[in-house]
A and B are shown apart, each in its own frame.
Chain A
């Protein structure tokens, strides 16, 4: 019973924390709410009229939603890059960052699930996928694997920080033997979620652009660059807006991870480009379409030729320790790297898979306003969830939220 009492008090306290804040905080949350409402309105139109309100068609049957889903799985997986050193290798530098990283993973996973649901033609019959009640085509369909790993990862990433914060809330130390096994598991699990998501595409013999062995590893490399890059940016914001102490040392160590991952990603990009363009076959047509356009159709050219230079620029700058250790330069690099990988692993990966079609037909894809509205709404949802989680976590870590405190003040 005692635990429930603490839990109840924690919920009340955190509700109290997230509804109070500076003017800037309220404007931020109000803004996110507005964007979410716009997204919901767009989604209601989509529910009403069907997916025909999106830019997708029988020829390009996945678009912006699945692109964002794919990218965000990577962001979620990246939390592991902070978990591993902190919990397993006992590197205390990361301890501050890890709660933020896991909060980010939770927000990213919620966005992933929202994107998948937004992409469904029949969200009202999604219960068909629940094992036991419905029919779960496991292990044949990679999508069922993805459902398992994503929900499992979500569970791990909610339970570990929750346990730690719950202990800290009561002023106790979290017990290592309780959470370290979970942390170790989450390390493997994170690799799993991204690899499984890559296999979703990689296993389709119908789409030569995806059906290559490098897709999975490249997913991992790009995720471990983009994810921590986002964490650095978020930490920078938290550092300047809250009293939460984050050492320069921590940020610089994460920057190291970003750099190495971005370098590996570039090597793999080079390998991919070599394979597609040195001896081009019929199967290279999607890559041709992506990078140079095909038969005068070139909707993706501006995107990919923004992404590649940004990617190279960021990686080159980050490679030099002198630039990397300058925080302003670092933030800039992280931002452009994040944007570059969002384009490359989202739009640049999903859309060319469908172009040209199975019989060489080229039909281009452009998202509609409604589709963009839903997408931005889901991003706002992610930001909203993350802000709530981070604010509570920071409150507990700073000692502002304490179970005992409240009791003593009450009595």
Chain B
């Protein structure tokens, strides 16, 4: 991975990874430094076994795994035998009457997931059913557990967001926090938030702004402004979806059912705010960087060929927490809260600041306001 990636330049996952490897100086490739193998728990043993067998290759894609591996004849032979065994296993499971329970369960889950309905129309039991299947499927595939929830919108909650243009310095901690929190594809460097660097004295000239800068901030003579999905009250993207795979929840969040989306990208064309992203290839997140606290409508793992977008971190906001971007912002430029709560900060901002929204003439009614000190 190049060092040029925006969210890695901001003290992120890669650095953590480095720390982890750097902390071990013994140079051993398997097991722990102290070789306390006898004390390994089942999970750790499993992990160690995987490390020993495939190790580095776990982070490579299929092509590299197959062709870009230096191996001697013995390893090659061993791998060939292994793959033959796997192949034979696959054949026997598909033909034999006594199928391994796990395989059977996996097939059952895949089948039910392929033909499940639209999340929007599911009852609470069905919602629980699908997240249980997804968690179990993850466990079966990786041997690790994730926690996924399906909380519905609470009563008397309408989420809104305000952005203080005077405070933002363009550090982009919000961008990196968002990428980490929401398990976005690392290969394509997908980001929900864009920070536009604008020149002082020119006003809001988005077309002259740079939303892809790699220099030290705050840059002299510039100011910064962030955009993301504005969770419009009258969202054009929702209207155009041919299968209702995207909709506005009761608490105002515009969400997507990743499993129902057919990938036509009509919503992308309909969004005036560049708020939507598409998975052009299979999203990849290194296993150790995956955020395992997930919500069905939020940061669970996506697949290739579906839309995704900012959900105001539904997995956090419905638990009463701030979205990751708000929490990460070092300047306090980002304010999030319940618009229906008269004592919330966001209501104070709306009442006491001269707020405005982008492209109000389009009638989309964003729930995302800008203001200045």
Chain A residues within CB distance 8 Å of chain B:
49-52, 56-58, 61-62, 116, 119-122, 124-126, 128-129, 134-137, 140-144, 147, 200-201, 203-207, 285, 353-354, 356-361
B263 touches A142 (CB 8 A): no
Task: Write out, one digit per residue, whether chain B residues 246-276 have a CB within 8 A of any chain A CB (1) or not (0).
Answer: 0000000000000111111110111111101
A359 touches B241 (CB 8 A): no
B242 contacts the other chain (CB 8 A): yes
Residue A136 contacts which of B188, B242, B274, B364 (CB distance < 8 angstroms)?
Answer: B242
A51 touches B239 (CB 8 A): no
List the A side residues contacting B313 at CB < 8 Å.
none
Binds A, one of B35-43, B138-146, B279-287, B348-356: B279-287
CA distance A295 to B284 in the complex (A): 34
B193 contacts the other chain (CB 8 A): no
Q: A141 and B242 in contact (CB under 8 A), knowing A120-B262, A205-B362, A360-B209? A: yes
> Could you list 29 examples of A-B contacts with CB < 8 Å?
A50-B281, A51-B281, A51-B305, A57-B280, A61-B265, A61-B268, A61-B278, A120-B263, A121-B263, A121-B264, A121-B279, A121-B306, A121-B307, A122-B261, A125-B114, A137-B241, A141-B242, A143-B242, A147-B242, A201-B269, A203-B240, A205-B236, A205-B363, A206-B272, A353-B269, A354-B269, A356-B207, A359-B207, A360-B205
Q: Which residue of A lies closest to B305 (CB)?
A: A121
B262 touches A128 (CB 8 A): yes
B interface bracket (residues with beta carbon within 8 Å of A): 35 or more
Residue B304 contacts which of A121, A135, A140, A203 (CB distance < 8 angstroms)?
Answer: A121
CA distance A62 to B306 in the complex (A): 14
B121 contacts the other chain (CB 8 A): yes
A50 touches B211 (CB 8 A): no
Residue A358 contacts which of B208, B264, B273 (CB distance < 8 angstroms)?
Answer: B273
B213 contacts the other chain (CB 8 A): no
B242 touches A129 (CB 8 A): yes
A41: min CB distance to chain B, Å: 17
CA distance A241 to B266 in the complex (A): 43
CA distance A56 to B363 in the complex (A): 28
B128 contacts the other chain (CB 8 A): no
List the A side residues contacting B97 at CB < 8 Å.
none
B133 contacts the other chain (CB 8 A): no
Interface class of chain B by DSSP = loop
List the B side residues contacting A204 at CB < 8 Å.
236, 240, 269-270
B188 touches A52 (CB 8 A): yes
Besides the known contacts A51-B263, A356-B207, 20 further A-B residue pairs in the complex with CB atoms under 8 A apart: A51-B278, A120-B264, A120-B305, A124-B114, A125-B114, A128-B262, A135-B121, A135-B260, A137-B242, A140-B240, A141-B241, A143-B240, A143-B266, A204-B269, A204-B270, A206-B236, A207-B269, A357-B274, A359-B209, A360-B206
List the A side residues contacting B149 at CB < 8 Å.
none
A301: min CB distance to chain B, Å: 19
B263 touches A122 (CB 8 A): yes
B152: min CB distance to chain A, Å: 19
B209 touches A135 (CB 8 A): no
A199: min CB distance to chain B, Å: 11
CA distance A200 to B271 in the complex (A): 14
B222 contacts the other chain (CB 8 A): no
B240 touches A126 (CB 8 A): no
CA distance A250 to B286 in the complex (A): 66
B244 touches A122 (CB 8 A): no
A146: min CB distance to chain B, Å: 9
B317: min CB distance to chain A, Å: 24
CA distance A203 to B269 in the complex (A): 11
List the B side residues contacting A57 at CB < 8 Å.
280
List the A side residues contacting B206 at CB < 8 Å.
359-360
B278 touches A360 (CB 8 A): no
List the A side residues contacting B268 at CB < 8 Å.
58, 61
B136 contacts the other chain (CB 8 A): no
List the A side residues contacting B194 at CB < 8 Å.
359
B226: min CB distance to chain A, Å: 11
A50 touches B209 (CB 8 A): no
B245 contacts the other chain (CB 8 A): yes
